[in-house]
């Protein structure tokens, strides 16, 4: 069966959901369309003095809310179709979790391992310059973030370049995922994986849903295989392991690790940092065909690397009872339908990996308000709780230790507030789409699209089409 392009895949999922709603075709076409996409080419002077032409894209899918928001990835697979698809997914994802942004995405077509640190810096700074000159970046226009192949360092170069060109009051809000010292927020690096964990935890806590797929509730003892041990993959399985799940497989591009008794995630991470690869880690069996590991027996499979990993070709052999999509677009519609027919639960990307953009939203709010969360009220809260506890001790004539007093009365710092906002967002959105799933007798992906189309469509309806 022929598989289609990524943007077409996203639109096929959109169309399936739109069939449940009564919006006019013209309005649905407008919601689906990618509003703007720009292809940049610029020169890189390499360390050896040669010049290379770099290709990059930025797509702004929907301006129904501003700014637009979405990561920048560095990958050889980047092309116009991919950034448009990923930008569209961002629009729907933001709507699902009620983050008030339109969707965007950017990408630079490079294999980052082939460039030195200073070449990567020049590429990132020049791309930022191009984005500024074409008005594709700004705290009120379009706000990038990390994605596949990028992280805090690239975001630091972006904010520094942007501020050099536009040193305005809110300039720090031009990008999220920055280091804390440059206006970042505590909890952003791990946010997507932490959100994946909250989403899976919520799904497995539903007794009826678990009964339908032949699983007990709770994470304790559930076996997990993860594809991709980068930012999203590592943090997802770290929190799943802490909650009692058993990580039996880790798949990387150059091989996989397998141990049915469980793999110590922190030890693998340490090994990777020391040796630059996971596959020489001694505590697990090395599997040479990484893709085949997707088909191994497990309760939860977390694809957290790239798109189009579960397709019509391999879906019939995939045995996991839950597919938890950490990556964007890891399952094609054909793959999805095969998995669904088998009765497995797919927790879709357009909900499950929204933790990153949710905490990016908190970071952007912090940048615009120029104050760290918790700074104004933490001490006040602590003192109030302490006075209450002391009064109770007098009234009941019972004493607790100073340590306990401190623990119980501790006020929330920035990390606590971010974590609680993220947890609440993921739980609320899960239950919202699960209700829609039941109401329309469909799957979670379609339900998430229904939720998004309703929210974006409502805005178009209210504002009309100009002029």
* 457 lies in the binding site for ligand NAD (CB under 6 A): no
DSSP three-state, residue 54: strand
* 106 lies in the binding site for ligand NAD (CB under 6 A): no
* 300 lies in the binding site for ligand NAD (CB under 6 A): no
Query: Rounded CA gap, 42 and 44, in Å?
Result: 7
Q: Which of 32, 69, 105, 238 is catalytic?
A: 105
Stretch that binds ligand NAD, among 231-239, 294-302, 390-398, 456-464 (CB under 6 A): 231-239
Q: Interface residues for ligand NAD in 67-86 (CB under 6 A)?
A: 71
Of 91, 124, 128, 227, the residue at the interface with ligand NAD (CB under 6 A) is 227
Pair type for strands 142-146 and 68-74: parallel
Stretch that binds ligand NAD, among 4-12, 136-144, 229-237, 401-409 (CB under 6 A): 229-237
Q: Is 218 exposed, middle or buried (0-12, 13-18, 19+ CB in 10 A)?
A: middle
* 253 lies in the binding site for ligand NAD (CB under 6 A): yes
Q: Which is nearer to ligand NAD, 326 or 457 (CB)?
A: 326
Q: Which residues contact 338 (CB under 8 A, 6 or more apart)?
A: 312, 315, 316
Q: Which is nearer to ligand NAD, 192 or 241 (CB)?
A: 192
Comparing C-alpha atoms, which of 3, 23, 156, 14 is closest to residue 85? 14
* 426 lies in the binding site for ligand NAD (CB under 6 A): no
Q: Interface residues for ligand NAD in 311-350 (CB under 6 A)?
A: 326-328
Q: 252: which strand partners?
A: 255
Of 102, 103, 144, 146, the residue at the interface with ligand NAD (CB under 6 A) is 146
Stretch that binds ligand NAD, among 141-149, 279-287, 392-400, 444-452 (CB under 6 A): 141-149
- Nearest position to ligand NAD, beta carbon: 230
Residue reference for tokens 């077409």? 8
Q: Which residues contact 55 (CB under 8 A, 6 or more apart)?
A: 39, 40, 41, 78, 108, 109
* 305 lies in the binding site for ligand NAD (CB under 6 A): yes
User: From the CB of 148, what's the least distance to ligand NAD, in Å?
Assistant: 4
Ramachandran assignment for 435, one of left (phi > 0), alpha (psi -120 to 50 degrees), beta (any other): alpha
Query: Rounded CA gap, 300 and 75, in Å?
Result: 27
User: From the CB of 95, what's the least distance to ligand NAD, in Å?
Assistant: 15
Query: Rounded CA gap, 396 and 275, in Å?
Result: 59
- The token pair at 65 is 């809310």
Please say if 109 is a catalytic residue.
no
Just list the catalytic residues.
105
Which residues in this chain contact ligand NAD in the complex, by CB under 6 A? 71, 146-149, 192, 227-233, 251-253, 290, 304-306, 326-328, 353, 356
């Amino acid at each position: 069966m022929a598989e289609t392009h990524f943007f077409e895949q996203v639109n096929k999922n959109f169309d399936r959901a739109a069939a449940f709603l009564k919006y006019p075709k013209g309005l649905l076409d407008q919601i689906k369309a990618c509003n703007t996409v720009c292809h940049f080419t610029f020169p890189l002077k390499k360390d050896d003095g040669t010049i290379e032409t770099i290709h990059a894209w930025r797509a702004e899918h929907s301006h129904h809310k501003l700014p637009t928001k979405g990561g920048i990835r560095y990958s050889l697979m980047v092309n116009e179709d991919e950034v448009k698809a990923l930008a569209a997914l961002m629009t729907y994802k933001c709507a699902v979790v009620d983050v008030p942004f339109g969707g965007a995405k950017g990408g630079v077509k490079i294999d980052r391992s082939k460039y030195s640190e200073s070449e990567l810096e020049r590429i990132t700074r020049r791309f930022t310059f191009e984005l500024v000159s074409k008005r594709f970046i700004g705290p009120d226009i379009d706000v990038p973030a990390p994605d596949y192949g990028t992280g805090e360092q690239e975001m630091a170069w972006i904010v520094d370049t942007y501020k050099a060109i536009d040193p305005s009051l809110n300039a720090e809000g031009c990008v999220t995922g920055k280091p804390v010292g440059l206006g970042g927020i505590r909890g952003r690096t791990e946010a997507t994986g932490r959100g994946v964990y909250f989403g899976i935890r919520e799904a497995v806590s539903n007794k009826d849903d678990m009964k339908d797929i032949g699983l007990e509730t709770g994470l304790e003892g559930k076996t997990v295989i993860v594809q991709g041990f980068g930012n999203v993959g590592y943090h997802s399985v770290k929190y799943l392991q802490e909650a009692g799940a058993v990580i039996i497989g880790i798949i990387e591009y150059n091989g996989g690790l397998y141990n049915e008794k469980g793999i110590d995630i922190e030890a693998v991470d340490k090994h990777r940092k020391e040796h630059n690869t996971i596959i020489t880690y001694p505590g697990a069996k090395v599997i040479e065909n990484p893709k085949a590991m997707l088909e191994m027996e497990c309760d939860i499979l977390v694809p957290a690397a790239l798109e189009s990993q579960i397709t019509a070709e391999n879906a019939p052999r995939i045995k996991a009872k839950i597919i938890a999509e950490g990556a964007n677009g890891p399952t094609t519609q054909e793959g999805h339908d095969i998995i669904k027919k088998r009765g497995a639960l797919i927790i879709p990307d357009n909900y499950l990996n929204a933790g990153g953009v949710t905490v990016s939203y908190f970071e952007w709010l912090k940048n615009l308000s120029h104050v760290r969360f918790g700074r104004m009220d933490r001490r006040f809260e602590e003192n109030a709780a302490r006075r209450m506890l002391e009064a109770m001790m007098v009234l009941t004539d019972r004493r607790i230790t100073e340590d306990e007093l401190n623990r119980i009365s501790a006020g929330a710092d920035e990390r606590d507030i971010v974590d609680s906002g993220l947890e609440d967002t993921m739980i609320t959105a899960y239950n919202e789409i699960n209700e829609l799933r039941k109401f329309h007798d469909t799957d979670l992906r379609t339900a998430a699209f229904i939720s998004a189309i309703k929210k974006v469509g409502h805005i178009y309806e209210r504002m009309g089409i100009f002029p």
